Amino acid sequence: MSAFTEFFAWFSGLVTAPAAIVLLTLLVRTALLPLALASARGQRARARLAPQVAAVRKRYARDPERLRRAVLELHAREKVSPLAGCLPGLLQLPVFFLLYHLFSGPGRVGGPFLGAPLDGRWVDALAQGGAFGRAGLVYLALFALVAAVATWTYRTTRAQLAAAGGDAGADAGPPGAAAVARVAPLLSFGTLVTVAVVPLAAALYVVTSATWSAAERAVLHRPERGRDRSST
């Protein structure tokens, strides 16, 4: 933790502290880009396997345990991991928690962001100036950005799940895949809660990362139009 504090103090000395948080987020997401590319390839592979999964479902409709084993064997044979998409999010958690602790305890560094203290929370902004005070307006802007990104992510995730076979394909996946498939499109809205309860510094990290994820999804998970035309 002390090493991260020293690094962030040095980094925020080169630029402003809010800019350092944004740049740090971009560096982390850039480092995780190979995993994002692998996740996108995995999603396309799962979509390609959807007809085979449907055939397996029909064959073993009365034997759920045999059905799950058959689908897992199919994924293993095709080298498709149903959980590969979770890795980029999980590997970001250490940086998020470091920022959270850095701006929650003693030894905090950096100045405010547009008048809102980086170690403050939404409840502090409401208490000091209200929802339309200087700090309150910063949070309203972050909430609006997160809501827009979450809505777009929700709609595109639902469309991608439907294209990959929807719940039918998820039910034939590993244990818990169906529940994950149903809940996944709603997870992006959880960012609103996170932004409201964590220090502003951590909130900036979350908002920047969520925006990156939306842009990444637009580029890496766009439909393959040529293939779509050939299939019609």
Each residue's pLDDT tens digit, 18-67? 888 999 999 999 998 888 887 777 777 766 777 777 787 777 777 777 77
> What average pLDDT does the structure give for the chain?
76
Query: Per-residue pLDDT for 222 more than 70?
Result: no
| Nearest alpha carbon to residue 172 among 43, 84, 51 | 51
Query: Between these two residues, 135 and 178, which has the higher pLDDT value?
Result: 135
Share of the chain above pLDDT 70, in %: 72
Q: What is the pLDDT, as a whole number, of residue 85?
A: 60
150-171 average pLDDT score: 65
Q: What is the pLDDT, as a whole number, of residue 224?
A: 53
Q: What is the pLDDT, as a whole number, of residue 187?
A: 74
Longest dimension (CA), the chain: 64
Domain ranges within the chain, ordered by starting residue: 2-223
Other C-beta atoms lying within 10 Å of the C-beta of residue 131: 12
Beta bridge partners of 116: 113
CA distances to 62, 173, 176 from 157, rounded to whole Å, are 30, 18, 18
Separation between Cα atoms, residue 200 and residue 11, nearest integer Å: 18
Residue 153: CB partners within 8 Å, gap ≥ 6? 185, 188, 210, 213, 214, 217
